[in-house]
Homo-oligomer: A and B are copies of this chain.
Amino acid sequence: MAERLVVIGGDAGGMGAATAARRLRPDLEIIAFERGAYTSYSACGIPYAVGGEVASLDDLVVRTPAQFREANDIEVRIHHEVTELDVDHRQVAVHDLRWGATERVDFDLLVIGTGARPRRPELPGIDHPRIMGVQTLDDGARLLAAKDAPRVVVVGGGYIGLEIAEAFLHRGAAVTVLERSKEVLGGLDPDMGAVVSAAMRRHGIDVRCGCPAIGFEAGSESNTVVVRTGDGPIEADLVVLGLGVAPNSELAATAGLRLGAAGAIGVDRRQHTSAEGVWAAGDCCESHHLVTGEATYNPLGTVANKQALVAGTNIGGGYATFPGVVGTAVSKICDTEVARTGLNEVEARRAGYQVHVATIEATTRAGYFPGAAPIRVKMIAERRSGRLLGAQIVGEEGAAKRIDVVATALHAGLTVEQMTSLDLSYAPPFSPAWDPVLVAARKVATMIGP
């Protein structure tokens, strides 16, 4: 009888692993269970579907269950939730959410790709039906159904929160963003985040920093909700949670698997969990941070895809490792491009580093070239060693993707002095003769002692 690989969860982590395993093992029987209606989609695209830049949620689907069956010989059962994992007996219990039946399914190999869910703060009234998250395509469908809400409050000023705020602005809503901290985008230092909140305010979004939501209650009309804040109540037709996500790791925890950073499923460098023959990939599991050397939780599509490829290669009998992440992220909010990698200044100091920090302003193209736009680069290096620790970029068109140079330098462990001589490309339509990343590296390199 054929060996059976069971996939728990239909997101990019699990399905990517299954696809990679299939390439190496045509003989495997592969069955995937997904509790929602979709598999293998770009969750990062949801704000753009809500905002109307992408025509339909269907555009975000990379591969449907039918396509998995056709192209990869993978059987996908949607609306099926795995409710129990028995590692010792190599069985899962699967609940059919439409018909209510539960069956037990044997497995030889298992990959967990249960993804993540939006964090919901434990606040009074949090279960009000007009409070929604942004993570799955099912969430996306609910948001699209609510796209004409005239007043929207976004709770939490992370990337997703700000992207969804802009999406509803595009739809014509009056949008308020509530952020607990002193600035939006906790991935950036506050001085860089302030550039983004200023841009959002110029576009007409009411960004309130240092102003957390403290509770919710029914509004004056049905289908409205009042958000209570320290500044007073705000009535809204829709509240969207942008507080980040938490890993769906409960099933694994109950089965006795080791959890790691932020409660995500612990994995080794081959994406193997603590249970023999059980693998995990994607937003449900942890990563290794190459700058701090510690476990981290970095639930992003790029990471999920890489982990999936590694897990699937190993499941298929090959050999692959995922060395880890350097904490890269990018977004575009109200025509402002934002990117970060490595550690920001706050994170670096919290990790015990003494640092030199430089911030420079430059242009994305030669200053005299049409379309030259402002770009600000902040770079952080370790004291004495001069080791690059991280950078942040905020700017207009053409600014953000430069972060990839810094990410690559972090992987390679370069010093900022070494970075000053990087042979980066230059022509007037693309860059000043000194690329802004080099200007930042030069400035911070001059601070390193002899």
Interface residues of A (CB under 8 A from B): 12, 42, 44-45, 48, 53-54, 59-60, 159, 290, 300-303, 305-306, 322-332, 337, 339, 341, 366, 368-370, 398, 400-405, 407-414, 418, 420-431, 433-435, 437
Contacts and interface: CB of A to CB of B under 8 A. Distances in A.
Contacts of A305: 433-434
Contact of A408 (B42, B337, B398, B422): B422
A44 B369 CA distance: 11
B431 A328 contact: no
> Lowest 9 CB-CB distances: which A-B pairs, in order?
A412-B412, A330-B425, A59-B368, A408-B408, A302-B426, A328-B423, A326-B423, A404-B424, A301-B433
A53 to B, nearest CB: 6
A328 B330 CA distance: 25
Contact of A341 (B337, B410, B423, B437): B423
Contacts of A426: 44, 300-302, 330
Contact of A302 (B300, B413, B414, B423): B423
Contacts of A331: 427
A404 B421 CA distance: 12
Given A305-B433, A400-B425, A407-B425, 5 more contacts: A44-B428, A44-B433, A48-B428, A302-B425, A405-B405
A326 B423 CA distance: 6
Contact of A412 (B12, B44, B409): B409
Given A302-B424, A302-B433, A305-B433, A404 B402 contact: yes
Given A59-B368, A302-B433, A332-B429, A423 B411 contact: yes
Nearest to A53: B370
Given A42-B366, A45-B368, A53-B369, A422 B411 contact: yes
Contacts of A428: 42, 44-45, 48, 54
Contacts of A433: 12, 42, 44, 301-302, 305
Contacts of A408: 405, 408-409, 412, 414, 422, 424
A169 B306 CA distance: 45
Nearest to A331: B427
A74 to B, nearest CB: 19
A377 to B, nearest CB: 14
A313 to B, nearest CB: 11
A425 B54 contact: no
A20 to B, nearest CB: 11
A319 to B, nearest CB: 9
A246 to B, nearest CB: 21
A161 to B, nearest CB: 14
A322 B421 CA distance: 7
A310 to B, nearest CB: 8
Contacts of A366: 42, 44-45
